[in-house]
C-alpha cells in the first residue's frame, strides 16, 4: 500500500501567502518561500503553490517566486493558477516546479490536458477540480470557484484521467476553510471510479479529519492550508497521530 501524503497548500497573491473561507475573505499568512522551506524541514511530503493573482505582473512575480522556492526545497512541489498553455507549463517546470495544476483552462479546453501529457508526461499534470454540491449533485466551477461550469464532478474527473491527468486535486467548495471535515463521500466515489491518485482539499480542521479522509474518503493525499499556516496542527504531530491510527504515512 502506498503511503498517504500530507500536502500543505499556499495560495499566493502579490507575493504573499493568503488564506480565506469558502474562497473569500483572504488574510495574509506569510512569505511563501520561507513557509515552503519550513514545511519541507517539518516533514511535509509535497507542497502546492497556487497563484491567485491573475494579472501579467502577478504572473512574473509568481515565476520568480517558483525559482526561489525550487532553490530551498528538498521535496516535490506543484504550481498552479492561470496555467492555460503548454508554454505556461514549460515556464513553470523550467523555473523548478515538479508538477503543474490545471483547472479553469482545462475545463474550457480539455485538449490542454492531452497536449501537456504528450509533451511532458502524465506525471506532471494535476487536474484541480473545484466543485460544489447542490441538491445532491456535484457541479464544477471555474475562475477560482466564481462561475459554475455545468459539468459534473465525476464526469469531468473521468475525462481528465482519460486525457492523461496524473492526479486529481478535488476541492469541495462547501467545505473550504470551514474546518468541519473533508467531503469524504464524494472522495470515496472518486477513488472508487478512478485509477489515478486523489488529493483531498477543503475542510481540514483537526487531526481526526485527516484520519477520516484516508479511512472513509480513501484519499491518497490530503491537502490543507490554514491549519498548518496558523500553527493549529504540526505536520510531524499529525503524522505521529495518523501512524497511531494505523495509517501508513511517509
Active site (catalytic) residues: 11, 130
Contacts 24+ apart (CB under 8 A), 144-153: 144/23, 144/52, 144/104, 145/23, 145/171, 145/173, 145/176, 146/23, 149/107, 151/107, 153/129, 153/186, 153/190
Pairing of the two strands 77-80 and 5-13: unpaired
Q: Is 67 helix (H, G, I), strand (E, B) or coil?
A: helix
CA–CA separation, 215 vs 142, rounded Å? 29
139: nearest Cα among 149, 128, 124: 149
Three-state SS letters, 124-185: HEEEEEEEEEECCEEEEEECCCCEEEEEEHHHHHHHHHHHCCCEEEEEECCCCCCCCCCCHH
Q: Is 199 helix (H, G, I), strand (E, B) or coil?
A: strand
Other C-beta atoms closer than 10 Å to the C-beta of 108 total 12
Other C-beta atoms closer than 10 Å to the C-beta of 96 total 16
Amino acid at each position: 500500500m502506498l503511503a498517504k501524503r500530507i500536502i500543505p497548500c499556499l495560495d499566493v497573491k502579490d507575493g504573499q501567502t493568503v488564506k480565506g473561507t469558502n474562497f473569500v475573505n483572504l488574510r495574509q499568512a506569510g512569505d511563501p518561500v520561507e513557509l515552503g522551506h519550513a514545511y519541507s524541514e517539518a516533514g511535509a511530503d509535497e507542497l502546492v503553490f497556487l497563484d491567485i493573482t491573475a494579472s501579467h505582473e502577478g504572473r512574473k512575480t509568481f515565476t520568480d517566486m517558483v525559482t526561489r522556492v525550487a532553490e530551498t526545497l528538498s521535496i516535490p512541489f506543484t504550481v498552479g493558477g492561470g496555467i492555460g498553455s503548454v508554454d505556461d507549463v514549460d515556464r513553470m517546470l523550467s523555473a523548478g516546479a515538479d508538477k503543474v495544476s490545471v483547472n479553469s483552462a482545462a475545463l474550457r479546453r480539455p485538449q490542454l490536458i492531452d497536449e501537456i501529457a504528450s509533451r511532458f508526461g502524465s506525471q506532471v499534470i494535476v487536474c484541480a477540480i473545484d466543485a460544489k454540491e447542490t441538491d445532491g449533485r456535484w457541479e464544477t466551477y471555474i475562475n477560482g470557484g466564481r462561475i459554475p461550469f455545468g459539468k459534473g464532478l465525476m464526469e469531468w474527473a473521468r475525462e481528465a484521467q482519460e486525457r492523461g491527468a496524473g492526479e486529481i486535486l478535488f476541492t469541495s467548495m462547501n467545505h473550504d476553510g470551514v474546518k468541519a471535515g473533508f467531503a469524504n463521500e464524494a472522495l470515496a466515489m472518486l477513488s472508487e471510479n478512478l485509477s489515478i491518485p486523489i488529493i483531498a482539499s477543503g475542510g481540514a480542521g483537526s487531526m481526526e479529519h485527516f484520519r477520516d479522509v484516508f479511512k472513509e474518503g480513501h484519499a491518497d493525499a490530503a491537502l490543507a492550508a490554514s491549519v498548518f499556516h496558523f500553527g493549529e496542527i504540526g505536520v510531524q504531530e499529525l503524522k505521529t497521530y495518523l501512524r497511531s491510527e494505523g495509517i501508513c504515512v511517509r
